[in-house]
Amino acid sequence: MKVLIMTLGTRGDVQPFVALARGLLAAGHDVVLAAPHRFGGFAAVHGVPFAGVDDGPMRLMDDPANAGVLIEGGIRARLRQARTMPAMFTQVLADCWAVASHGAGAGADVVVHNGQIIAGQHVAEALGVPAVLALPIPVYVPTREFAWPGVGLPTRLPAVLNRATYLGMKAPAAIFGRVVDRWREDTLGLPHRRGRHDPLRRPDNGRAPVLHAFSPAVLPPPSDWPNTVHTTSYWFLPSPDEALPPQVADFLSAGDPPVFIGFGSMSGPDPARSTALVLEAARLAGKRLVIGTGWGGLNSARCEGVLSVKEVDYRSLFPHMAAVAHHGGAGTCGTAFAAGRPQVVCPFVADQPFWARLAYRRGVAPAPQPQRHLTAAALAAAIITATTDAGMARAAEQLGRRVRAEDGVSAAVTALERITASPQCG
Lowest mean per-residue pLDDT among 122-136, 146-160, 245-259? 146-160
Nearest to 258 by CA among 315, 341, 359: 341
Amino acid, single-letter form, for residue 68: G
Range 379-407 average pLDDT: 98
* CA–CA distance, 258 with 51 (Å, rounded to integer): 40
Range 346-363 average pLDDT: 94
More confident residue, 151 or 302: 302
Q: Is the pLDDT of residue 107 over 60?
A: yes
- Strand extents, DSSP E, 153-206: none
Q: Is the pLDDT of residue 278 over 60?
A: yes
More confident residue, 240 or 329: 329
pLDDT tens-digit map of 254-273? 999 999 999 876 656 677 88
pLDDT at position 75 is: 47
CATH code at 2-234+406-425 = 3.40.50.2000
Averaged pLDDT of the chain: 90
* CA–CA distance, 236 with 365 (Å, rounded to integer): 22
Q: Is the pLDDT of residue 78 over 60?
A: no
Whether the CB-CB separation of 209 and 416 falls below 8 Å is answered with no
Q: Is the pLDDT of residue 25 over 50?
A: yes
- Is the domain spanning 246-404 CATH 1.10.510.10? The answer is no
> CA-CA distances (angstroms) from residue 232 to 20, 219, 220, 407?
11, 11, 11, 8
> CA-CA distances (angstroms) from residue 121 to 16, 101, 135, 260?
19, 14, 14, 39
Whether the CB-CB separation of 49 and 37 falls below 8 Å is answered with no
> CA-CA distances (angstroms) from residue 62 to 59, 74, 79, 238, 329?
5, 19, 19, 28, 18
Amino acid, single-letter form, for residue 141: V
* CA–CA distance, 142 with 136 (Å, rounded to integer): 15
Q: Give yes or no on whether 2-234+406-425 and 246-404 have one common fold.
A: yes
* CA–CA distance, 306 with 317 (Å, rounded to integer): 15
* CA–CA distance, 292 with 368 (Å, rounded to integer): 19
More confident residue, 60 or 148: 148
Where are the domains positioned within the chain? Answer: 2-234+406-425, 246-404
Nearest to 152 by CA among 335, 349, 18, 379: 349
Annotate 16-71 with three-state secondary structure: HHHHHHHHHHHCCCEEEEEEEHHHHHHHHHCCCCEEEECCHHHHHHHCHHHHHHHH
Q: Is the pLDDT of residue 295 over 80?
A: no
Q: Is the pLDDT of residue 73 over 70?
A: no
* Local structure of residue 263 (DSSP, 8 states): -
Nearest to 294 by CA among 332, 251, 239: 332
* CA–CA distance, 277 with 406 (Å, rounded to integer): 36
* CA–CA distance, 130 with 414 (Å, rounded to integer): 15
- The most distant pair of C-alpha atoms in the chain lies apart, rounded to whole Å, by 65
114 contacts: CB under 8 Å, gap ≥ 6: 6, 7, 8, 9, 13, 17, 120, 133, 134, 135
Q: Is the pLDDT of residue 12 over 90?
A: no
Residue positions counted in the chain: 426
pTM: 0.92
* Local structure of residue 371 (DSSP, 8 states): G
Q: Is the pLDDT of residue 34 over 80?
A: yes
